[in-house]
Structure 1
Amino acid sequence: MRRPTLTLLAASLALATGLASATDTATTIPQAAVKTAEQLRDKAMKDNTAYAVVESLTTEVGPRMAGSPADLRAREWAVAKFKELGYDKVYTETVTYPLWERRSEHAEIVGPFAQPLTLLALGYSAATPKGGLTAEVVKFDSLDALQKADPAKVKGKIVYVPTHMKPHKDGSDYGMGSAVRVGGPVIASKMGAAAFLLRSAGTDEHSRTPHTGVTGFRDPKDAIPAAALSLPDADQLERVLARGKPVKLKLDIDCGITGMYTGANVIGEITGKTHPEQVVAIGGHLDSWDPGTGAIDDGAGVAIAMAAGKLIKDLPQRPDRTIRVIAFANEEMGLWGGRAYADQHAGDVAKHVLGTESDFGAGKIWRMTASVKPEARGAIEQIAKVIQPIGVEYVADKPGGGGSDLSQMHLKGMAALTLTQDGTDYFDYHHTANDTLDKIKPADLAQNVAVYAAFSYMAAQANGDFGSAPDAFKNDGASD
């Protein structure tokens, strides 16, 4: 059937949400469910379950590097915690990925002004030769400058590229910073560089704590040593380079891929009473980087989702649809848990009514965006009215992406929200030794739970769907 001509507003909404059949009826949320969601919201604002959960995870397990001995401990902890919170069904789904291990890293300027530097190896980095490597540093002001460089000026050198992220509420500078970290080592390797360094993708200008993170290497044969300098150390290196003399560094990095590892996503469900096969999917990722204890990245996300599900479970009546909470495996090294989940559940995408993941710390949620069919916009507005009193703005013309791991299910066609937290100081601590429990404010964490509990319950009770179907949102341009 030929589509009718769209108005400019309708066209923009269609782009952001996916088109739906003209015969679809509007999705609505019954007033009784709205009232219950308001009660959930208010109860959650005073509830400390999420803080207790993240305190337990960071204390009893601590850092949870994917594939490390703590990986299994974290999975066992998650299974036990779901059961302790009263979830009806708890199970795991296997996730297999390369096992990269960090053992040690050391760097120093050997000339012209000898001194040590503080750094962390990046995920999928190769090791230096035994005893380390010493080479001249060549600096490029941007990733674009590196790409345009003469390979002869790069071959055999240690390539250095700075990043200069500024704090933003929505963390928008991270796109630039992560692009240098992920793409820079790959470009440098192809040009024959001996190693790659970047100024950490972070905003803690006065902290000598480097930020780790993953690179774009996928084949160990292509990898070179790659590491991130703390911001003050990077600034020091740049001052030395500015003296105009050749600068030589010695890097001694022991790390690398040692084989394959099979971990698991851990899933807990509150079974729906009317449509148990239909799910509202929420979650966080269970793994963390190793320097800190993974409190804000992403123990908080796991705790928010677990606590929201528990509040819904404690209601006098079951939700109509199932609430599925997923603690994803190995997000940090390339969304392995999210991609495995999406591959396994692609055939059930229409049954994933609505979903999103929490993976941006523990600051208050201040914005909601959505990728849903046009006929479900009214239901999203109903959700927006419930969470607006606790500080959440609904932006109707911006798509939702589902968060990090659930972005993969959104790519398959799941209707999705993005619930943006206040990340003003998030990149002060992200992927550093300072990602610890003291960075979490219990009241802010409770506000997150209130948002997740309210939206999840309302989606579970909705009359109608939100547009999930194979490839339903492939052109909406959402990203997280």
Structure 2
Amino acid sequence: MSQFRLTHTAGLSLIALALFSPAAQAQDVTTIRTAEAIRDGALADNRAMEIVTEITTRFGPRPAGSDSEQAAAAWVADWMRANGFENVRVEEFPLIGWERGTDTGAVVGRFAQPLAVAALGHSPATPRAGVEAEVVRFTSLEALQAATEAEVRGRIVFIDLGQMQPMQDGSGYGPQTRVRGLGPAAAMAKGAVAYVMRSVGSDYDRLPHTGTTRYVDGRPTIPSFALAAADADQLSRLVGLGEGPIRLRLFSSARTYETTSQNVIGDIVGDERSNEVIVLGSHLDSWDQGTGAIDDAAGGAITLAAALELVEGGRRPARTVRVILYGSEEVAQPTPETGNGGGVYVRGVGDEAVADHIIAGESDFGADRVYALRLPSGAQGSAFQTAATQVLYPIGVLASSVPETSGGADVGPLAQAGVPVFRLAQDGTRYFDLHHTANDTLDKIDPEQLSQNVAAWSGLIWLIADSDVTFRQTPAE
């Protein structure tokens, strides 16, 4: 028996009867029973594992704008057509691509030793001879911002915020990723020649976590690197010895180039209210070091497989279910006109069509099990939430009292345009062990947990798609 199925004891049955009385259900009994059947069929299906295997095997890493991302997008579009999706299209947009090249780092001088580093995305190359300078260490972004220019000028800034702690909801990521996004600009403003930071990750593998930096006024900052956790500890200890300056030599041959990325879009067209659209999002691009299995080929596989579960056996939802595999989620861009597949989609469909979008959700947090459902604020405590809980509780998904407001990087622009968003929250306890590293590979995906994701998505989406519930309104008391 699946570890995600609850044992149906007499006690649980009594609890279920108390919680899920027919008067509290938003949908009729047939809709709920169909959602339960779709859920159970998805648990026994390995289609999502087949999709993620195809994408990661055929195309490997898929950096935004690269040949491999473009080829993967063409393959997904063909797969959609072959599997009955309608209105399949590839929506291209301009992008500044970034290619890593070679990156190295080392302590030089008295304590000479190599360091495991990864250049941060969209940071520029060093000079051909590399850059060598004394390290100045800070323990927070705020400490760097408060430093004098004299403390920083001509040096390599090193920020060690301390190791990120693994958390189920991934909430440790935000404070750490600020250091990656804003640190290079702050160091450059004070005259630093390069920037290094502890990897944004919760593991102690000697594999640095990459990720994007930000442009300043449309221009790149300074050569910037992430250190593997063990190497960050080592560098902090060396500085802490207090036996004179510690010097680093860093090298990067990274380059940028003009290219295109794309969104891949396909519909399961509704048979009654086809103009009413539900968006299931993920992103197709990945970083270059692994094969982008958990970030985010898994998300695309989950949403594609969930959409197909809805129409097994000739079923057809009332509303249209639109699956979008967005391009260029991972990287910053110098101008608003480049990159940002989520923004491109919203601008492309226009305000009138956005108004017909019922709800949107995004799968972009790996492949481990879903444990909670977060609905828009208007659905908190509603009859729909009760019905959704009836369908999802047997596979270990609980209703959350925390409303979903942001949606995620890709569907965030829809949320900003007024479209309600939901989240099927995944267990992220080990996600940041693998995120943006060479360890993000297919073998890290548990097929059973992946199928539980598909079951949660497909059961929930049937309830939404085969109903007239609108999440833009607050439920009546």
CA offset digits 1:422-443 (Å, max 9, x no partner): 0111111000000000100000
**Is residue 449 of structure 1 aligned with residue 447 of structure 2?**
no
Match of residue 433, structure 1, among 438, 448, 454 = 438
**Is residue 389 of structure 1 aligned with residue 388 of structure 2?**
no
Which shifted more, 431-440 or 79-88? 79-88
Q: CA deviation at 1:221?
A: 3.4
Task: Measure, in 2, the Cα distance between the counterparts of 1:383 and 1:400.
Answer: 18
2:254 — aligned with what? 255
Match of residue 354, structure 1, among 321, 345, 359 = 359
Q: CA deviation at 1:217?
A: 2.0
Secondary structure of the residue aligned to 1:373 is helix
Residues 153 and 197 (structure 1 numbering): CA distance in 2 closer, same or farther, change over 3 Å? same
Task: Measure, in 2, the Cα distance between the counterparts of 1:363 and 1:280.
Answer: 23
Opposite residue 109 of structure 1, the aligned amino acid is V
- Please identify runs of 4+ aligned residues in structure 1 that moved more than 6 A: none
Q: CA deviation at 1:352?
A: 1.0
Secondary structure of the residue aligned to 1:209 is coil
In the alignment, structure 2 segments of 5+ residues that lack a partner are 1-23, 333-338
**Is residue 103 of structure 1 aligned with residue 107 of structure 2?**
no
Does the CA-based 8 Å contact 1:183-1:215 persist in structure 2?
yes
Task: Measure, in 2, the Cα distance between the counterparts of 1:384 and 1:374.
Answer: 12
Task: Measure, in 2, the Cα distance between the counterparts of 1:248 and 1:415.
Answer: 51
Task: Measure, in 1, the Cα distance between the counterparts of 2:380 and 2:224.
Answer: 48
Match of residue 228, structure 1, among 226, 229, 239 = 226
Secondary structure of the residue aligned to 1:414 is coil
2:85 — aligned with what? 87
1:148 — aligned with what? 146
**Is residue 118 of structure 1 aligned with residue 116 of structure 2?**
yes
1:398-417 residue pairs with structure 2 within 5 A? Answer: 398-417=403-422
**Is residue 343 of structure 1 aligned with residue 347 of structure 2?**
yes
Task: Measure, in 1, the Cα distance between the counterparts of 2:286 and 2:93.
Answer: 16
Which shifted more, 112-121 or 400-409? 400-409
CA offset digits 1:425-467 (Å, max 9, x no partner): 1111000000000100000000000111111111111123111
Q: CA deviation at 1:145?
A: 0.8
CA offset digits 1:193-224 (Å, max 9, x no partner): 1111000000112x110000011225563410
Does the CA-based 8 Å contact 2:285-2:327 persist in structure 1?
yes
**Is residue 268 of structure 1 aligned with residue 273 of structure 2?**
no
Opposite residue 117 of structure 2, the aligned amino acid is L
2:193 — aligned with what? 194
1:62 — aligned with what? 60
Does the CA-based 8 Å contact 1:189-1:222 persist in structure 2?
no
1:181 — aligned with what? 180
Does the CA-based 8 Å contact 2:185-2:216 persist in structure 1?
no
Opposite residue 458 of structure 2, the aligned amino acid is A
CA offset digits 1:250-287 (Å, max 9, x no partner): 111111322x3222100111111111111111021000
Does the CA-based 8 Å contact 1:155-1:194 persist in structure 2?
yes
Residues 291 and 242 (structure 1 numbering): CA distance in 2 closer, same or farther, change over 3 Å? same
Task: Measure, in 2, the Cα distance between the counterparts of 1:271 and 1:376.
Answer: 30
Secondary structure of the residue aligned to 1:103 is coil
1:281-296 residue pairs with structure 2 within 5 A? Answer: 281-296=279-294
Which shifted more, 390-399 or 448-457? 390-399
1:464 — aligned with what? 469
1:302 — aligned with what? 300
1:477 — aligned with what? none
Q: How many residues align?
A: 442
Opposite residue 444 of structure 2, the aligned amino acid is K
Which shifted more, 117-126 or 211-220? 211-220
CA offset digits 1:69-118 (Å, max 9, x no partner): 21211111111221232212311112222222211111111123111111
Q: CA deviation at 1:27?
A: 10
Residues 397 and 289 (structure 1 numbering): CA distance in 2 closer, same or farther, change over 3 Å? closer
Q: CA deviation at 1:404?
A: 2.5
Superposition RMSD in Å:
1.8
In the alignment, structure 1 segments of 5+ residues that lack a partner are 1-25, 473-480
Match of residue 423, structure 1, among 428, 437, 449 = 428
Match of residue 44, structure 1, among 37, 42, 45 = 42
Q: Percent sequence identity over matched residues?
A: 41
1:12 — aligned with what? none
Task: Measure, in 2, the Cα distance between the counterparts of 1:153 and 1:218.
Answer: 22
Secondary structure of the residue aligned to 1:156 is coil
Q: CA deviation at 1:143?
A: 0.9
Residues 109 and 440 (structure 1 numbering): CA distance in 2 closer, same or farther, change over 3 Å? same
Task: Measure, in 1, the Cα distance between the counterparts of 2:375 and 2:349.
Answer: 21
Opposite residue 341 of structure 1, the aligned amino acid is Y
Q: CA deviation at 1:349?
A: 2.2
Q: TM-score if structure 1 supplies the norm length? A: 0.89
Task: Measure, in 1, the Cα distance between the counterparts of 2:25 and 2:144.
Answer: 50
Match of residue 241, structure 1, among 220, 230, 239 = 239
Secondary structure of the residue aligned to 1:79 is helix
Q: TM-score if structure 2 supplies the norm length? A: 0.89
Secondary structure of the residue aligned to 1:330 is coil
Q: CA deviation at 1:384?
A: 2.2
Secondary structure of the residue aligned to 1:462 is coil
Task: Measure, in 1, the Cα distance between the counterparts of 2:142 and 2:390.
Answer: 44
Opposite residue 354 of structure 1, the aligned amino acid is I
